[in-house]
Amino acid sequence: MRHARKFVGLLAGIAAVSGLSTVPASAESTSDTAVENYVALGDSYASGTGTREYFEDSGDCLRSPKAYPQLWADSHEVSNFEFAACSGAVTDDVLADQLGALSADTTLVTISVGGNDVGFVDVITRCLTGDDAACDAAATEATEKARSELPAKLDATYSSIREAAPNAEVVVLGYPRINEMGDCGIPFYTETKRQRINEGSDELAAVIADRAAAAGFTFADARPAFEGHGVCADDEWINGPSNPVQESFHPDVDGHAQAYLPTLESVTG
């Protein structure tokens, strides 16, 4: 029952998980022979929301020193690192607020985005507060958006990234499946609901992978690395209902270090 005490607070505040900022943070070079000029774009899954430790100057963007972009920059030869990802970002926010960090000198770009465009917070909220049918309806609505609306939004975002960073390798990191099956201490969070959310994650991954390939970018699938460590697992790498609510249903420190970072390194080395 590790989640039960946090459940009421989650329902009161989960919709507050959003934030915008235009100010990127940077990290110092880790080597005198650094070669990468790295820019990290995207939403809360890229900024590190869920790790409970944030740079003071990142404000509501909740950029974390424990997030996979910062971990990658800290452990590789990097001449310049711009951390532009922001909690709550949708594709329009990336276009409006984050692309200024890119240039012809940028050699590596990572991005995680699209979940908020299809209504991630709404799906989680309706699945926690409603019955199985309500959860199914919410996930179906999100899937329809992923299929009908998201491709054009991703195409525009990816095209703008390529225009702003013509010489960069671009890695698109996908989202994990959120949940594990079996016993769970979250009230009314049935296996049916958890499975339906996971099915939605698979649909979202298929769309993002397809549009990344069309743009000539590399899709890095995070689902295998998170397998067995979702919400309701014995060893969770994704937070369940949490206090503060912004931490809920986001990868924790282990999720970034043990899953997202190796997923990125499988592409970049």
Cα–Cα distance, 97 to 137 (Å, whole number): 32
Return d(Cα 173, Cα 46) in angstroms, integer.
Answer: 9
Active-site option among 76, 229, 250, 256: 250
Alpha helices in the chain (DSSP H): 7-13, 44-47, 68-75, 91-93, 120-129, 132-148, 150-164, 191-215, 223-226, 253-254, 261-268
Asked if residue 197 lies in contact with residue 111, where contact means CB atoms within 8 angstroms, the answer is no
Question: How far is 189 from 99, CA to CA, in rounded Å?
Answer: 38
Is residue 168 a contact partner of residue 106, using CB atoms and an 8 Å limit? yes
Give the DSSP per-residue string, 242-263.
-SSGGGTTSB-HHIIIIIIHHH
Cβ neighbours for 160, distance < 8 A, ≥ 6 positions apart = 95, 99
- In order of 108, 207, 263, the CA distances from 214 in angstroms are 18, 11, 21
Given the residues 21, 44, 112, 242, select the one marked as catalytic. 44
Size of the chain, expressed as the number of residues it contains: 269
250 is catalytic: yes
Query: Are 193 and 135 within 8 A, CB to CB?
Result: yes
Catalytic residue annotation: 44, 250
